[in-house]
Structure 1
Amino acid sequence: MGKASKDRRDIFYRLAKEQGWRARSAFKLLQADETFNLLEGLTRAVDLCAAPGGWSQVLSKRMYEPRSEKDREQVKIIAVDMQGMAPIDGVTQLRADITKESTAEEIINFFDGKKAELVVSDGAPDVTGLHDWDAYMQADLLLSALSIATYILEEGGSFMGKVYRAANTSNVYLQLQRFFKDVCLFKPSASRSSSIEAFVVCRQFCMPEGHVPCNLRMEWFDKPEEALKDISGKTERTVVHLPFVAHECEYDADLSYEIDANYIPQEAVQKPLTAAYQEVLEKTKTMSLKYNSYVVYHDEEASSSEPSTSKKCNA
């Protein structure tokens, strides 16, 4: 009953299972490609915060699988995440932190000294329901993705990342406009209209003259006089309005769709291997967070820094 109810309420969740996608988020990248032709003719792409692999699967289906065996050798797709995920044909996995410069170096080495033509990121922190805080954390994650993109993206390349539309989002837009000649806000049909989620689609990457790639979240440390020069008075907040592009589809993510009386719910194509909250769920089965605290320590040494190429998809 529960699974059938969710299939009825979420058409893209149902379609993802029926069409073989491991996450409904795959449709968001598919619709972006349909709208902007982001994946046309590409051979080098990076998926940041990739687990459980929905967007990596799209990259494989569009860039790798349609090619001949010989042409596939030219395609290089790398998925970066601190969490593991099931293998995908033509996709190399790198378990690493996207905020580290060493991760950017490993990605460039994977491309044999070249840089990516496309960088995408569908990463998002666990939402709290406090919209201002969630938007701030999402903007922070997007800036981390943009920071590493400035290291690994070739001139003229494209970038796509998730953003939550909120009061402070203009600060993120200003950063994007520093590095890309064409920046717009995209709302896929697979994203509920009731959600503040949207995606920035940035094209024609161009490194500003004199800019040295760095962590954009901490850039002000290098020029504190710029960040602190007007702390005494109220400053006028810059508001940036980006062109807004919406994808039109026959399905509405906010509507419920009836299913046949004989419909049999299908299992997910591929469940996450190591969900970030998995350890917490196991621990809280035998304890109450109301009366006890619980701290999770992430052991970086447990994550392999060596990329591993997937030869076969288990989905």
Structure 2
Amino acid sequence: MGKSSKDKRDIYYRRAKEQGWRARSAFKLLQLHDEFQILHGLKRVVDLCAAPGSWSQVLSRELYQKQNQPDAKIVAVDLQPMTPIDGVTCIQADITHPKTLHKILDIFGGEPADFVCSDGAPDVTGLHDLDEYIQAQLILSALQLTTCILKPGGTFVAKIFRGRDIDLLYSQLSYLFEKVICAKPRSSRGTSLEAFIVCIGYTPRPGWNPKLELNKSTEEFFEGANIGKATNLQFLDLPDPEERKIAKFVACGDLNDVDSDATYSLDNESRLPALDPVQMPTAPPYKKALEMKRRGDLVRR
């Protein structure tokens, strides 16, 4: 996080630093919980694509401090390294690899998870169709692991990019969950395509045994689930239409709260202290350049 004047006037950005959250995205999960009460009574939780860890922080504070559940277990998974969080087991691994699934199950003692979430997103290119496709594939990858580890009746929450073919994803999820809702937290900028899919009441498909395997595409993984192929809606052939449910859209968060798209003037801004990062970067992209600078390799000749 930088320290520009605009950053100071982004109220959610500043609130995150003042309250000790690693990123402003923590408020998105908090507002989703306020709307749907999805974090109550959880014992085993998985946070996928977790870095830098703001959602894991929310889960830790909610389960250990507010609900006082010392026996709860939280696992955070990401390809990037993460600074440790109290009560959270961090795994640096690929969410599509079978070994990752086995590690999580070992931590849970072989028991299924109550809740799986993913706030992951690709580095956007600005090409909306491409970004939406990559994000949809990321969600399906997270859903693969989720169907292998989530208990019947459990909840799955993931970031989505709302685009032309998002109804396809809603349709597929509606075959796996009793209730599917598209939610837009107040802290999520209205100018962004970002939203969150809240899937409540996991219902395994009859006769389908999900198994995570290497070198198997998401379409091959869900082939036996009979939830429709991952093709364009124009050519989509879904199963029984009466079984399918339509996802409704919900805005969550206090409507009287601050606007995430706005910047606000601050009293005595010139004297407003700059806030240091809550967590220093663990694997910054400029790390190699810093090492070269220390060795003097970047000195002009």
- TM-score bracket relative to the smaller structure: 0.7 to 0.9
Tell me how large the CA RMSD over aligned residues is: 2.9
Amino acid at match of 1:248: G
**Change in CA separation of 1:227 and 1:188 when aligned onto 2, cut-off 3 Å:** closer
Superposition deviation, residue 101 in structure 1: 1.9
| Equivalent runs, 1:115-264 vs 2, <5 Å | 115-214=112-211, 217-219=218-220, 235=235, 241-249=246-254, 250-261=257-268, 262-264=271-273
Equivalents in 2 of 1:145, 1:18: separation in Å?
A: 31
Q: Percent identity?
A: 46
**Change in CA separation of 1:11 and 1:284 when aligned onto 2, cut-off 3 Å:** farther
Superposition deviation, residue 7 in structure 1: 2.9
Q: Is the 8 A contact 2:171 2:246 kept in 1?
A: no
| TM-score calculated relative to the size of structure 2 | 0.83
In the TM superposition, what whole-angstrom CA distance separates every residue of 1:34-56 from its partner, at most 9, and x where no partner exists? 11111111121000001110100
SS of equivalent to 1:246:
strand
Q: Which residue of 1 aligns with 2:275?
A: 266
In the TM superposition, what whole-angstrom CA distance separates every residue of 1:12-47 from its partner, at most 9, and x where no partner exists? 111100111111000000101111111111121000
Amino acid at match of 2:17: K
Q: Is the 8 A contact 2:113 2:150 kept in 1?
A: yes
Equivalents in 1 of 2:237, 2:128: separation in Å?
A: 20
**Change in CA separation of 1:13 and 1:112 when aligned onto 2, cut-off 3 Å:** same
Superposition deviation, residue 248 in structure 1: 3.4
Equivalents in 1 of 2:222, 2:169: separation in Å?
A: 18
Q: Which residue of 2 aligns with 1:101?
A: 98
SS of equivalent to 1:273:
coil
Superposition deviation, residue 221 in structure 1: 9.1
SS of equivalent to 2:115:
strand
Structure 2 gaps, min length 5: 239-243
Superposition deviation, residue 64 in structure 1: 1.5
Amino acid at match of 2:88: V
| Equivalent runs, 1:78-97 vs 2, <5 Å | 78-97=75-94
Equivalents in 2 of 1:78, 1:53: separation in Å?
A: 11
SS of equivalent to 2:175:
helix
Superposition deviation, residue 103 in structure 1: 1.1
SS of equivalent to 1:65:
helix
Amino acid at match of 1:274: A
Q: Report the more deviating stretch, 93-102 or 59-68.
A: 59-68
Quick one: higher RCO (CA 8 Å, sep 6+), 1 or 2?
Answer: 1
Q: Which residue of 2 aligns with 1:39?
A: 39
Size of the aligned set, in residue pairs, is: 277
Q: Which residue of 2 aligns with 1:111?
A: 108
Structure 1 gaps, min length 5: 288-315
